[in-house]
Amino acid sequence: MIRTAVVGASGYSGAELVGLLAAHPRASVAAVVGAGSAGRRWEALYPGRAHLFRGEISAWDPGALAGLDVVFLALPHGESAVAAASLVGSVGVIIDLSGDLRLADSATYRAWYGREHPAPELLGRAVYGLPELFGDDLPGAGLVACPGCYPTAVQLAAGPALRLPAAGTAVTASAVSGTSGAGRSSDPALSFSEMYGDARAYRVGRHQHVPEMAAGLERYAGRRVRLTFVPHLIPIERGILATIVVPLDEPVSQHEVLEHYRAAFAGSPFVRVLDPEERLPAVRGVAGSNRCDLAPVVDAAGGSLVVVSAIDNLVKGAAGQAVQVMNRVLGFPETEGLPGGEEAT
């Protein structure tokens, strides 16, 4: 049993991680850390999960984590890189769920996050933890930047498309997200009374994950990509549904595209490629699981390829992905301790 800690264990992603790790057959939770809730019982914050884990939340103290096998950082961006910097060298593996370590340079960070990077010496040192596209980077890594909800949903949908020779350069991605993506919030705009019955666009053209997604897609496809990304908030608690559209410069058959996607994810136990004639992705098809459902559709009239993907933002878009990354880094079976990964027989 490896020993792990979750820093930021009182937030939604952190709490999801605690639950997954507590039930993981090869891991134990040695510490749950939370600055604002230190001294409180974790199970008092999450009474619905008291059967999964019980323990007191510790204050942030990097020394107390020294020697642990894996430390997960489920902190807001800005805070996360600082925490990572103080842990490098003293713990086995650091898996960061924030956006802090996902970009290559501090100028891009400054431009899109609107602040100086808090630990620029770490930039470029972290492996990007998207197992389905870049899984070969993971075994033995010591510092992993784990992509979150939009980057995961968009890159899994668009990546294979951009490897099609017929695909154009301009990718449009429109996504709807549940409110848990914003974290535990006291913003009245995210109150039940304000979100109920609403659907909103936000941060159009300036969401901080745009350069990360574009860079990931360019690396995976090996060519230039121009990404327009429009996020929306809808009144569900968890889940992301992303729809990407890529123009097709020449006709491609639906059959060919479907086979292309199936081949791309043949070794990925958490991606389910759906035949759109039978079923299209839906949030309820993936809620609570670490799976990404996706379906490519050739739109002949529009001259484009549409790919729809669905994930649970707190699992495949956060905590589950982090555990999957841990499994790959440490050489555990990829699906260990994760719901939704093995098709039952």
Examine residue 1 and tell whether it contacts a second copy (CB under 8 A): no
Examine residue 179 and tell whether it contacts a second copy (CB under 8 A): yes
Minimum CB distance to a second copy, residue 74 (Å):
15
Instruction: Evaluate the CA torsion angle 130, 136, 139, 144 in order and state its sign.
Output: negative
88/190 with CB nearer a second copy: 190
CA distance 34 to 57: 6
Beta strand pairing status for 200-201 and 170-177?
unpaired
Examine residue 306 and tell whether it contacts a second copy (CB under 8 A): yes
What pairs with residue 230 in β-bridges?
174
Examine residue 104 and tell whether it contacts a second copy (CB under 8 A): no
93/176 with CB nearer a second copy: 176
Compute CA 328 distance to the chain's CA centroid, rounded to the nearest angstrom.
Answer: 15
Examine residue 192 and tell whether it contacts a second copy (CB under 8 A): yes
- Site residues for a second copy, 58-77, by CB under 8 A, read none
- Site residues for a second copy, 18-37, by CB under 8 A, read 22
Examine residue 91 and tell whether it contacts a second copy (CB under 8 A): no
Burial of residue 323 (CB within 10 Å: 0-12, 13-18, 19+) is buried
14/178 with CB nearer a second copy: 178
Q: What are the residue numbers of the active site?
A: 149
Binding flags for a second copy, 210-249, as an x/- string (CB under 8 A): xx--x-----------xxxxx-x-xxxxxx-x-x-x-x--
Question: Which DSSP letter does residue 236 get?
Answer: -
Minimum CB distance to a second copy, residue 245 (Å):
5
Look up tokens 């009239």; give the residue.
Answer: 301
Using CA atoms, how far residue 20 sits from 4, 15, 290, in Å, is 12, 9, 11
Question: Residue count at the site for a second copy (CB under 8 A)?
Answer: 93
Examine residue 51 and tell whether it contacts a second copy (CB under 8 A): yes
191/253 with CB nearer a second copy: 191
CA distance 42 to 46: 6
Binding flags for a second copy, 136-155, as an x/- string (CB under 8 A): --------------------
Contact criterion met (CB below 8 Å) for 217 and 160: no
E strands, 59-183, in order: 70-73, 93-96, 127-128, 143-145, 170-177
Using CA atoms, how far residue 49 sits from 31, 134, 303, in Å, is 16, 33, 48
Minimum CB distance to a second copy, residue 127 (Å):
25
317/341 with CB nearer a second copy: 341
Minimum CB distance to a second copy, residue 325 (Å):
20
